[in-house]
Chain A
Amino acid sequence: MVRARGLIVLTTAALVAFACGGTTGGGGSKGTIKIGSDLPVCTIGGQATANGVQFAVNQKNAAGGVEGYTIAYQSFDDCRQGAYNADAGVDNVRKMLDDKAFLGMVGPYNSAVAKAEIPIAAPQHFVMISPANTNPCLTKDIAGCSYHPQDLRAGNQNNYWRVVTTDDYQGPAMATYAYKTLGIKNVGILDDSTVFGVGIAGSFEQQFKSLGGTVAKHSEYKKEQTSDFKSILLGFKNAGALGVYVGGTDDQNICIPRKQMKDIGWAVPFMGGDGIETSDCIDQASGNEPNIYATSAGADATQVDGAKQAIADFRKAFTGPNDFGGYTMQAYDAANALMAAIGRAIKDANGMPSREQVRAQMAKTTGFKGVIGTYDFDQNGDTSLKIVSIYVVNGGLSDQAIKDSTGVCGSKTKNACFVWKTQFDFAKPA
């Protein structure tokens, strides 16, 4: 009965919110504040992330909005020709900047898009909170980066935050896991020649070597040029590698080598970053799915006690099989952090705040309680939660096991899915 009453309250609140949305500024709501998201919603992962924002906004509005203001959420798609595109992202941010009602956004999903967007958003003090960007160069002044945060901001205050940690932890986490837990002392490394792929492969290599491991060979390829990886893999095998680490993403066909390892009769673990923790990767590996290990720069929400209730509620509201993804709860936390900052800014301004006021409040965020954990942000926008999760593909899973896991499954081989193994918390001293 309690649940039924809750439903009525929720429905009533939703109806009220709807009615308010219909008549601008009328009936109890002080007005409407817009927040956007810029995500590649043409992809399953992008849409699942946008769902997290939508869910957070729905909940907030159902509970009366932010300090009496209704939050209107608009999802922008940064896909062009079916893949994320920095130009499309820049267009989206310009659209948001042109509309004064937009006070912040969740996104982007891809680091390359963030690199293009920050220089446009920073001068306008427009808050961006990414649920998924993991390139360290966006927030850290590292010598090896081709761009630096202070250049992206060009003298403006920081306007960019992220709720996930950075790739410089993803590579080392897998290196440690491979060396210590899997007992692999010699690996071949393959990267896809993209900024992301080269970066994560490099950080893996550095940590793996510092642990005492040997890198048999480090090769690279380009998607447009290589369909047959067998020669590269044979090179690794002959050089004595007992595992393969790939730096890259599925849209660069990074998991096709996994299938071809079987074609040369080579059965060793295949490891990579979050770019391979995808359905497409499992499909590309067709016939050779098990023992693909992947890291994800962030906690697995399903493994965090604090997120269980939010996930259960989310599943009730979004019932599709692909509605929930690895970054849905991160997006949920990001949206709530943004709305919390907007709320403080409203109090501060005693009315509709400016973008600069929202930015200033976001920068002051400390101890923000999300469902994944409690976030503090440093002055560059990085979170204090430095959790990297490790997943492995298991084949032949039961329907129940598939339902319970956040890890994605193959679209062809539906019972081969990523299953959470363990996590590394780099915030805690080892």
Chain B
Amino acid sequence: MSLPDFGFYVLCATAVVLLAAQAVIHPTEFVQVCIFGLTQGSIYALVALGYTMVYGIIELINFAHGDVFTLGAYVGSAILGFFAISEGEFTTVNLIALLLVFPAVMLIMGGINVAIERVAYRPLRNAPRLAPLITAIGMSFFLEGVMFLWHGPATVHFPDILPKTATTIAGVFFGFKDVFVVVVAAILVALLAIFINRTKLGKAMRATAQDRDAAQLMGIDINRTIAATFFIGALLAGAGGMIWGLYYNTVYYQLGFRSGLIAFTAAVFGGIGNIPGAALGGLIIGLIAAFSDSYIGSKWTQVVVFGILIGVLVFRPTGLLGMRVPEK
């Protein structure tokens, strides 16, 4: 075992021991905090997948991705406004609105992300690495600007249309919303895994990620495959935005910046380019954030999360499940 690996395991073991102690001393609180962490983590996972897919295929840190996620919540909130939804109780209209708007927002965000790729990244595909990175940051500011002009700086209310059923089991409080977030995220991740592993386009994406030139020689339409990657990444980001809105009921235009960075950390944590890694990384980062909020203090959470990013990059640059990007 190398020294960096050893350091990594020592850190992990210490954290696990401390948490186990908490679990034994205050079991109810621990389970409750785990629920907070899983719900947050599910959303981070959905966003992290978009980062990791794009990075896997064109090695670009798509800084605008977090803002696509936020824009998803804005768009969802706007479309839901057209329905006669009820915020007080769960009605049939709510259910219909949800079933229509949720996929619609995913598709709209997919379309927007494809357009972003076409305008801001494709022309720079063969430019030095720094150029698309800078357009990505520019795109991020652009999207934030659009949301700012749309609704101003204040928080935007997202309709509270999910059932408000909640229950307490053995002192642990959770509601339908908590279950909804985790289940929907899990379904989407499972669908993505099937798509990547079982379909022709998924295979093309994996091939392009492995070696773009060789894939092209084999007759894969690179532009189409990369566009598809952006499309699918944004489907998940749009879903993440919807879930965020339905769960927290407030969004503001700069939300994507921080959530995006945390999701990016999750992607690196899981091994950038690695799809199961991003999902797992998202969940773990969500849990770590909740533990840190509860046991250390919320002002330290950002320090903890980005400390982990540094730790991973130093001790285990390939992440938990290993990086899946071509050696160059």
Contact = CB atoms under 8 A, between A and B. Distances in A.
B283 to A, nearest CB: 15
A284 B155 contact: yes
Contact of A225 (B26, B157, B258): B258
A264 B166 CA distance: 9
A225 B249 contact: no
Q: Which of A220, A227, A264 has the most CB of B within 10 A?
A: A227
Interface string A233-275: 0110010000000000011010010011001110000000000
Nearest to A265: B173
B36 A286 contact: no
A283 interface: yes
Sort A-B residue pairs by CB-CB distance and give the 8 closest, nearest first. A82-B153, A231-B293, A231-B294, A265-B173, A225-B302, A221-B298, A412-B157, A280-B154
12 contacts: A83-B153, A221-B298, A228-B36, A231-B290, A234-B294, A238-B29, A253-B155, A265-B173, A283-B155, A284-B155, A284-B250, A287-B87
A8 B299 CA distance: 61
B160 A286 contact: yes
A214 interface: no
B153 A219 contact: no
B25 to A, nearest CB: 12
Interface in B153-198: 153-155, 157, 160, 164, 166, 168, 173, 175, 177
B148 A82 contact: yes
Contacts of B29: 234, 238
Contacts of A220: 297-299
Given A253-B250, A265-B173, A286-B160, A226 B301 contact: yes
Given A221-B298, A286-B157, A265 B259 contact: no
Nearest to B173: A265
Nearest to B88: A287
Contacts of A235: 294
B248 interface: yes
A225 B155 contact: no
A222 interface: yes
A414 interface: no
A228 B248 contact: yes
B254 interface: yes
Contacts of A30: none
Interface string A70-110: 00000000000111000000000000000000000000000
Given A224-B258, A283-B155, A264 B173 contact: yes
A193 interface: yes
B210 interface: no
Contact of B166 (A226, A234, A265, A411): A265
A174 B299 CA distance: 25
Contacts of B249: 259, 286-287
A412 B80 CA distance: 14
B21 to A, nearest CB: 16
Q: Which of A83, A229, A234, A256 has the most CB of B within 10 A?
A: A234
A250 B255 CA distance: 15
A230 interface: yes
B62 interface: no
Contact of B160 (A228, A231, A234, A287): A287
Contacts of B153: 81-83, 251
Nearest to A235: B294
A225 B301 contact: yes
Nearest to B35: A230
B36 A280 contact: no
B33 interface: yes
Given A228-B248, A235-B294, A259-B249, A250 B299 contact: no
B155 A280 contact: yes
B259 A224 contact: no
Nearest to B26: A238
Nearest to B164: A287
Contacts of B36: 228, 230-231, 234
Interface in B19-69: 26, 29, 32-33, 36, 40
Given A231-B290, A263-B175, A263-B177, A225 B33 contact: no
Contacts of B154: 82, 250-251, 280, 283
B269 interface: no
Given A234-B29, A286-B87, 19 more contacts: A82-B148, A224-B254, A224-B302, A225-B258, A225-B301, A227-B248, A228-B289, A228-B290, A231-B36, A232-B294, A250-B154, A256-B248, A259-B250, A280-B154, A283-B154, A283-B250, A284-B157, A284-B250, A286-B157
Interface string B255-278: 101110000000000000000000
Nearest to A231: B293
Contacts of B148: 81-82
A226 B298 contact: yes
B178 to A, nearest CB: 8
B252 interface: yes
Contacts of B87: 286-287
Contacts of A256: 155, 248, 250
A227 B259 contact: yes
B299 A225 contact: yes
